[in-house]
A and B are shown apart, each in its own frame.
Chain A
């Protein structure tokens, strides 16, 4: 008799532990994935640095402390020295501090542009994929027009339309360029969902159209969009850098941004490669981090992969 009771208890305990939520099981899988851990570590360090950089930076990034060492005629740039780990930049400001603080601006531009682009793409893609018919045709023709222009050229044109460039115009220009990519991707997977059996089954249950779109079609269509947004984070940072380089970026360089730093030193690259190399390496590492994390996230969140 006692045996029977303990057996029942065991089964009850199992029942409680086995009904796991999606987030919990995704986390369980992620924790064991070394790729995710690498990506998450990079992004974690990047985010923490960008938040704390104003306090972490050894010098004020916007004050030209080494201006006396800068000799314009000879293209002189202050070398590393005590108190200035990586030396100064073209204006004699502490390079290491600018690199640290740059993470903040880079994060704002990258994340801001991706979020706005994602939001626009989700709206357009959902409209096209859910409604179909002429709405789909109109949206997709607009998307085609936008995609037919090279993305950088489009971003330049949008940024150039603003009389006074600022950080916000950079974000806007980069994000608008990303909208068609997201829209087309989402529309494609929404269309596939539209003809899937479970959408037919939901229709056969009299589920309302809104619920079919937002509960049955959209969640099943999001995983390629999530992956794309991690890649877009990387390209957004790079495109913002390109805008800055062409003088369409934020003219106020007191608060540094990696792309801007990269653009500023184009002329001295052959004599002082470290000035370009450091921001470039930072951009690459952060972009890699986002890509690694996004890819593993997608795998973990896809219920079809959970066995």
Chain B
């Protein structure tokens, strides 16, 4: 059995007098210990909501979470608040997107690291400080003794994200969820943070759920990739397979829209037409149909079923034929 089994997870945001909004719609995936699973998609496709739902961080009122999230044999969605609090930070870690706003501005870094150790491992403050120093050292923060006393604003962006990773890994969680951990960083730092995470995950045997819109991150880190669109998984495959042969037009479009260094100068980028706002509900159509270059009539009339074939899960009526070049696909 996998460490984390997400089955048919749905999140519906409901407000009085407004139509319910399906942010996540029947998402299922497994994560094995030591494995890295990517959740990929553009803004608003339900990536972050999925991660918050797994951690039980969505507001009780207004957000309805259904399905099951089985971690190590227990369904996290059925746990009480207190049981969930004990799991968070000790067994489930999370790294957030913006390292500056995710750290408390008025508490020194050291105290923010020891807080978790004191809470979950019952360490006295002094012992925890020594452990915190080791942790900062491990995530590659130079001069940890000095940094322990400093405040978040005194650290650079990369160091803040390293500190956040140190905090998330302080109790050696078995599962780490990283919600776009590199978005707020510049490219050189991104590479450092990614290789750090890769290293730590390998050393500790942590299962990692990587949430990102950056296919470069996926290519570098993930074993299995789930492509989300409109709250549903539209394509799921192992990394190499997905990159070599994207079958869903959305995945294909995402890959085609990456600027390439080896493309001829002056060539236009190929974005995916439209935006998430153009989505039609999944109920009786494919949500991607209005933006899809391959759309057929059936795409607007019938919800595509999930088809699991040759180790690839695909939800599409008219998948891209392997070998189609990217450039002509999506005329702007």
Contacts and interface: CB of A to CB of B under 8 A. Distances in A.
A306 B151 contact: yes
A207 B151 contact: no
A204 B55 contact: yes
Interface in A172-198: 196-198
Contacts of A306: 151, 153-154
A307 B105 CA distance: 13
A18 B105 contact: no
B25 interface: no
Contact of B102 (A22, A201, A207): A201
A203 B88 contact: yes
Contact of B104 (A19, A202, A208, A307): A202
Contacts of A215: 104, 107, 115
Interface in A200-233: 200-208, 211, 215-216, 219-220
Give the one of B57, B103, B115, B168 with max A CB within 10 A. B115
Given A197-B96, A200-B96, A306-B151, A205 B88 contact: yes
Nearest to B88: A206
Interface of chain A, helix or strand or loop or mixed? Answer: helix
Given A19-B146, A19-B150, A207 B101 contact: no
A182 B193 CA distance: 43
Contacts, number: 93
A206 B151 contact: no
A153 to B, nearest CB: 38
Contact of A204 (B89, B104, B146, B154): B89
Contacts of B104: 198, 202, 215-216, 219-220
A207 B115 contact: yes
A304 B105 CA distance: 7
B85 A206 contact: yes
A302 to B, nearest CB: 8
Interface residues of A, number: 28
A19 B145 contact: yes
A20 B88 contact: no
A78 B36 CA distance: 91
Nearest to A305: B153
B57 A203 contact: yes
B89 A303 contact: no
A184 to B, nearest CB: 22
A194 B234 CA distance: 35
A206 B119 contact: yes
B116 interface: yes
A198 B103 contact: yes
B153 A21 contact: no
A20 B102 CA distance: 22
Contact of B105 (A16, A20, A198, A200): A198
B164 A201 contact: yes
A15 B143 contact: yes
Nearest to B167: A205
Contact of B119 (A200, A211, A303): A211
Contacts of B55: 204
B164 to A, nearest CB: 7
Contacts of A304: 105, 153
A208 B85 CA distance: 7
Contacts of B57: 200, 203-204
Nearest to B55: A204
A15 B151 CA distance: 15
B90 interface: yes
Contact of B149 (A20, A207, A307): A20
9 contacts: A19-B148, A21-B149, A203-B88, A204-B88, A204-B89, A207-B119, A211-B119, A303-B105, A304-B105
Interface of B: 55, 57, 85-90, 93-94, 96, 98, 101-108, 115-116, 119-120, 143, 145-154, 164, 167-168
Given A206-B86, A206-B90, A303-B153, 15 more contacts: A15-B143, A18-B146, A198-B101, A198-B104, A201-B96, A202-B104, A204-B57, A206-B87, A206-B88, A207-B115, A215-B104, A215-B107, A219-B106, A303-B151, A306-B153
Interface of A: 15-16, 18-22, 196-198, 200-208, 211, 215-216, 219-220, 303-304, 306-307
